[in-house]
Amino acid sequence: MSSMKKLLFIFIALFSYSTIIYASFPVTDNNIVVVDSNDQPTEAPEDCVDWALFAICLLFGWLGMHRFMTGDYLIATLQLLTMGGCGIWYIIDLFAIAMCKMGR
């Protein structure tokens, strides 16, 4: 029973450390809206989400198929071997596609 507790502690410690690493990336906002003198936006934001890529990522993201579609073969192969990075890459890529950071 003692070895099971040690194994559980190591798993929780590694998981906690990995979540700190993933959460420590810098966040930047590149979407600047120019406002004219009437306080109206000059351009309406266009729909930049690639819905086909989003659908492929939603259905087959754990296999890395969306990364194969974008031409990123190294990460696609890693996702294929790790089942989408145990689901973490899969979720990050879904959000990246939805926020127009990946795709077109």
Q: Is residue 86 part of a domain?
A: yes
Q: Is residue 19 part of a domain?
A: yes
- Which residues form the domain of 53? 2-98
- Note the pLDDT of residue 28: 60
- Note the pLDDT of residue 44: 47
- Note the pLDDT of residue 13: 72
- Note the pLDDT of residue 25: 52
- As a whole number of angstroms, the distance between CA 39 and CA 59 comes to 42
pTM of the model as a whole: 0.52
- Note the pLDDT of residue 34: 54
- Note the pLDDT of residue 72: 87
- Note the pLDDT of residue 6: 80
User: DSSP of the chain, one letter per residue?
Assistant: -HHHHHHHHHHHHHHHHHHHHHTTS---------B-TTS-BSSPPP----HHHHHHHHHHGGGTHHHHHHT-HHHHHHHHHHHHHHTHHHHHHHHHHHTTSS--
Residues with pLDDT less than 70, the chain: 1, 14-46, 104
Q: Is residue 54 part of a domain?
A: yes
Contact 103, 77 (CB under 8 A): no
Q: Is residue 103 part of a domain?
A: no
- Note the pLDDT of residue 35: 55
What's the structural domain count of the chain?
Answer: 1
